Amino acid sequence: MKRAIVIEKIWKALMYASIALVLFFVVSVIWSVFRRGLPVLSWEMVSSLPGGGFYIGKEGGFLNAIVGSIYIVGGATVLGLLVSIPVVFYLNVYLKPHPKLGVVARLAYDILFGIPSIVYGAFGFTIMIFFGLRTSLLGGIIVVTLLIIPIFIRSMDEVAKTIPQDILEAGYSLGSTRLETITVVVRQIAPAIATATLLGIGRAIGDAAGVMFTAGFSDSIPTSLTQQTASLPLSVFFQLSAPQLEVQDRAYAAAVVLTAIVLILSLSGRFIMNRFSRNKI
């Protein structure tokens, strides 16, 4: 009996150690990025475009990457929601009486969620070549849209599944068609739409492998959908591989901006979830 208690204690200590280790990783990642990047971050960097000789350490900033990321993520989020809200509605209202296709569909979205973004990028690239498109803002938006649709659908569907059939039937009994219950459904899953959107934006803004193939990189802000565009993760990645310290400094500064954006997104996602779904932990 004594032995069992000692073993219990040892394992419990290991559990504490593993939690401490994970907390250490979180703190270490954020602290190391901020400590290196924050001192070199300046207003000029986030508010100006790369000047001449930018990549050998001359003046300029990475506004092109910030705006490029906003364009890509904004476009992809809007397109992604336009596709995924109807799909979630279809799965949970029209398909409710015939769940077979729903099972297959959910499995497929789970799998799409697991496909790495580099594969999306390579696939997007072949499609673009097939249609004769060059790397462009449009290409980036399309690939990122494909990447975040499964995230949107899975996290909205998780909540939409729990809508009681009674609510829909109450609507039908008042004479509404299935389509007209969409207002009720959307209202029911509104917090889930918000959380999914934040999650999707977080994933989209951090994606580098997908946009590398399809959006390219550019020192200016794109003025049309067919121009190449920069993005924050790629700006970090490319500048870090430069030998000059000044260029690397800017990469770390861009990393701080990216980390801050993602932190805000993930914490507010958690906040919305806690605020609106109390029965969950």
Partner 1 sequence: MKKNNRLLKDRIAEQLMAIMTISSLLLVVAMAVGLYLKSVPILQEHSLWDLLTEGEWRPMADKFGFFPFLMGTLYVSLLALGIAIPISLLMAIYLTEYAHSVVKRYVFPFLDILAGLPSVIYGVWGMLVIVPWVSDVVAPSLRHDSSGYTVLATGVVLGVTVIPLLVSLFIEIFSNVGREIREAAWSLGATRWQTTKDVILRQTAPGVIAAVVLAASRTLGETIAVIMVCGNLAIVPSSLLDACYPIPALIANNYGEMLSLPLYESALMFAAFILFFVVLGFNLFSRLVLRKMENK
Between residue 62 and residue 121, which ones bind partner 1 under the rule CB under 8 A?
83, 86-87, 89-91, 94, 101, 104-105, 107-112, 114-119, 121
Smallest gap, in angstroms, from Cβ of residue 111 to partner 1?
Answer: 5
Smallest gap, in angstroms, from Cβ of residue 239 to partner 1?
Answer: 11
* 60-84: b (≥16 Cβ within 10 Å) or e: bbbbbbbbbbebbbebbbebbbeeb
Smallest gap, in angstroms, from Cβ of residue 185 to partner 1?
Answer: 12
- Would you tell me how many other CB atoms lie within 10 Å of the CB of residue 97? 7
Smallest gap, in angstroms, from Cβ of residue 128 to partner 1?
Answer: 11
Site for partner 1 in 150-169 (CB under 8 A): 153
Nearer to partner 1, 25 or 47 (CB): 25
Smallest gap, in angstroms, from Cβ of residue 235 to partner 1?
Answer: 9
User: Which residues are CB-neighbours of 45 under 8 A, at least 6 positions away?
Assistant: 61, 62, 250, 253, 254
Nearer to partner 1, 221 or 260 (CB): 260
Cα–Cα distances in angstroms (integers) from residue 47 to residues 20, 51, 114, 235, 254, in the given order: 39, 12, 36, 15, 12
User: What's the chain's Rg over C-alpha atoms?
Assistant: 23
Nearer to partner 1, 18 or 52 (CB): 18
Nearer to partner 1, 14 or 78 (CB): 14
Nearer to partner 1, 127 or 194 (CB): 127
- Would you tell me how many other CB atoms lie within 10 Å of the CB of residue 152? 26
- Would you tell me how many other CB atoms lie within 10 Å of the CB of residue 265? 19
Report d(CA 77, CA 200) in Å as an integer: 7
Question: Do the Cβ atoms of 88 and 160 come closer than 8 Å?
Answer: yes
Query: Is residue 134 involved in binding partner 1 (CB under 8 A)?
Result: no
Binding mask 228-247 for partner 1 (x = CB under 8 A): -----x--xx--x-------
Q: What is the dihedral of CA 183, 187, 188, 192, to 10 degrees?
A: 120
Smallest gap, in angstroms, from Cβ of residue 227 to partner 1?
Answer: 18
Site for partner 1 in 169-228 (CB under 8 A): 177-180, 199, 202-203, 205-209, 212-213
Report d(CA 3, CA 13) in Å as an integer: 15
Query: Is residue 269 involved in binding partner 1 (CB under 8 A)?
Result: yes
Nearer to partner 1, 168 or 258 (CB): 258
User: Which of 77, 157, 252, 253 touches partner 1 by CB under 8 A?
Assistant: 252
Site for partner 1 in 9-68 (CB under 8 A): 11-12, 14-19, 21-23, 25-26, 28-30, 32-33, 36
User: Which residues are CB-neighbours of 241 under 8 A, at least 6 positions away?
Assistant: none
Smallest gap, in angstroms, from Cβ of residue 122 to partner 1?
Answer: 4
Smallest gap, in angstroms, from Cβ of residue 8 to partner 1?
Answer: 5
Report d(CA 161, CA 163) in Å as an integer: 6
